[in-house]
C-alpha cells in the first residue's frame, strides 16, 4: 500500500526528519513488480531503505521510498564443511549472525551487531574486526528498477572493494537486492587477528575462542566504543578509512610517528580516519545537537534534534580540517541524500 507524505524520522538511525512523497513497505519480489506497475510510481525517483543505518537525509524526497521487510532465513545446501544460507533482504543483519553463531557456523561472527539489513550489507560490503561480507558471499538476487528485469549476481559480478560494490557505483539506486546467499563454514577456526579483538580476548584470558566467544567479544567491544543508534542517533563510521600510497604514508609517519595504519595490500596503506579526526581536536566536539562521539571521533552523532543539513555541515567542517592539517581528502562512508 502506498502512503502519502510519510515521515522518515523513525526509518533512519540518525533520527533526522525528512518527508517523502510516497512510501511503501514491501515483502517480496512479486510485490515490487506490482508496485512498479502502479501509475503513481515514477521509476526515476525511487529509493530503497533497509533499516536506514547508513544514510543521512538532508532534504525531503519527491519520490517513492520502499522499505523491504521480507524476513526469511533458509539453509539451501550443506556439505561436510560448508553451509549455503539464503536470507531475505529485510532480515536484520545481526539476526543472520545469531542464526549462524547459534548453529556454530563460522565466518560472520566478527560482523556481530553491525546495524542494518541483509539487503543493505552487500552495497557497502560491510566489514569489521578483520572480516568483510565479501569473504563469505556466494550470490544475490534482485530486480532492476527501470526495466523490472530480475538478475542473480555472483561474487565477481558484485565487484566488492573496501566498503564498496557495484551497487554503490555503476548500479547505485538502480538495482534492488531481494535476497543474499552466504557460504559459511562448519569447521573453520575464528579469526581473531584484529588488534582490538585479540587484545580483548587476551585480557579475558580466552586462548582458544569458540565462534560464540568471538561474537560475544565483538558485542562487548562494539558496545563499549560505538554509541547505540537506538539511544543516540548515528550511522556508524561517517567516513571511510583513507588509503594512501607507501610514499605518502612514509612522509606522514615522519611527521606523526604515532599514526595508526591497518592492512597493507598492493602497496597501499589504510590509515585510521578516527585518529586523523581526533588529531584535529574533533573527538567529542559538539555544535548544538551535532557532535562526534567522545569515544570515537569517526562517529558523528545526533544528540537531540539536529537536522540532516546540520549533520552534513558538521561533517564538511571535519573534512576541511583533516584536509588542511594532513592534506588527506576523507570520503563519506554514509550515503548522503
Binding residues for ligand EPU (CB under 6 A): 128-129, 196, 225, 236-237, 240-241, 260, 272, 274-275, 278, 283, 296-298, 333
Place of cell 581536536: 281
Q: How far is the CB of 133 from ligand EPU (least distance, A)?
A: 11
Q: How far is the CB of 196 from ligand EPU (least distance, A)?
A: 5
Burial class (CB in 10 A: 0-12, 13-18, 19+), 165: buried
**DSSP 8-state code for residue 12:** S
* Chain residue at closest Cβ approach to ligand EPU: 236
Could you confirm whether 333 is annotated as catalytic? yes
Question: By C-beta, is 128 or 145 nearer to ligand EPU?
Answer: 128
How many DSSP H helices and E strands does the chain contain?
Answer: 7, 19
Question: By C-beta, is 14 or 36 nearer to ligand EPU?
Answer: 14
Among the options 163, 181, 222, 283, which is catalytic? Answer: 163
Among the options 237, 278, 283, 321, which is catalytic? Answer: 237
Q: How far is the CB of 292 from ligand EPU (least distance, A)?
A: 8
Could you confirm whether 163 is annotated as catalytic? yes
Question: By C-beta, is 6 or 240 nearer to ligand EPU?
Answer: 240
Question: By C-beta, is 26 or 259 nearer to ligand EPU?
Answer: 259
- Supply the DSSP string of 287-324, one letter for each residue: ETTEEEETTEEEEEEE-SS--HHHHHHHHHHHHHHHHH
Q: CA 159 to CA 96: how far, in whole Å?
A: 23
User: In this structure, what C-alpha cell is assigned to residue 140?
Assistant: 544475490
Phi-psi bin for 284: left (phi > 0), alpha (psi -120 to 50), beta? Answer: left
Active-site amino acid positions: 163, 237, 333
Amino acid at each position: 500500500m502506498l502512503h502519502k507524505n510519510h515521515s522518515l524520522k523513525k526509518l533512519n538511525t540518525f533520527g533526522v526528519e525528512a518527508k517523502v512523497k510516497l512510501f511503501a513497505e514491501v515483502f517480496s519480489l512479486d510485490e515490487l513488480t506490482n508496485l512498479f506497475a502502479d501509475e503513481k510510481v515514477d521509476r526515476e525517483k525511487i529509493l530503497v531503505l533497509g533499516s536506514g543505518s547508513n544514510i543521512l537525509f538532508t532534504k525531503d524526497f519527491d519520490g517513492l521510498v520502499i522499505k523491504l521487510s521480507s524476513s526469511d532465513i533458509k539453509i539451501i545446501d550443506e556439505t561436510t564443511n560448508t553451509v549455503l544460507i539464503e536470507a531475505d533482504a529485510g532480515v536484520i543483519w545481526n539476526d543472520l549472525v545469531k542464526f549462524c553463531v547459534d548453529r556454530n557456523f563460522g565466518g560472520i561472527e566478527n560482523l556481530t551487531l553491525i546495524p542494518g539489513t541483509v539487503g543493505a550489507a552487500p552495497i557497502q560490503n560491510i566489514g569489521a574486526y578483520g572480516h568483510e561480507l565479501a569473504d563469505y558471499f556466494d550470490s544475490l538476487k534482485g530486480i532492476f528498477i527501470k526495466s523490472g528485469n530480475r538478475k542473480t549476481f555472483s561474487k565477481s559480478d558484485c565487484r566488492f572493494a573496501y566498503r564498496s560494490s557495484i551497487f554503490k557505483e555503476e548500479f547505485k539506486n538502480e538495482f534492488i537486492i531481494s535476497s543474499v546467499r552466504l557460504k559459511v563454514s562448519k569447521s573453520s577456526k575464528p579469526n581473531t587477528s584484529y588488534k582490538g579483538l585479540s587484545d580483548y580476548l587476551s585480557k579475558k584470558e580466552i586462548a582458544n575462542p569458540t565462534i560464540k566467544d568471538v561474537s560475544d567479544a565483538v558485542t562487548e567491544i562494539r558496545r563499549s566504543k560505538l554509541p547505540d543508534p537506538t539511544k543516540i542517533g548515528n550511522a556508524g563510521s561517517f567516513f571511510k578509512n583513507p588509503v594512501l600510497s607507501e610514499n605518502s604514508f612514509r612522509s606522514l609517519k615522519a611527521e606523526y610517528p604515532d599514526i595508526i595504519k591497518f592492512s597493507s595490500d598492493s602497496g597501499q596503506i589504510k590509515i585510521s580516519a578516527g585518529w586523523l579526526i581526533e588529531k584535529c581536536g574533533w573527538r567529542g566536539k559538539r555544535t548544538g545537537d551535532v557532535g562526534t562521539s567522545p569515544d570515537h571521533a569517526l562517529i558523528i552523532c545526533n544528540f537531540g534534534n539536529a537536522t540532516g543539513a546540520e549533520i552534513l555541515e558538521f561533517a564538511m567542517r571535519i573534512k576541511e580540517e583533516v584536509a588542511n592539517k594532513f592534506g588527506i581528502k576523507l570520503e563519506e562512508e554514509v550515503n548522503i541524500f
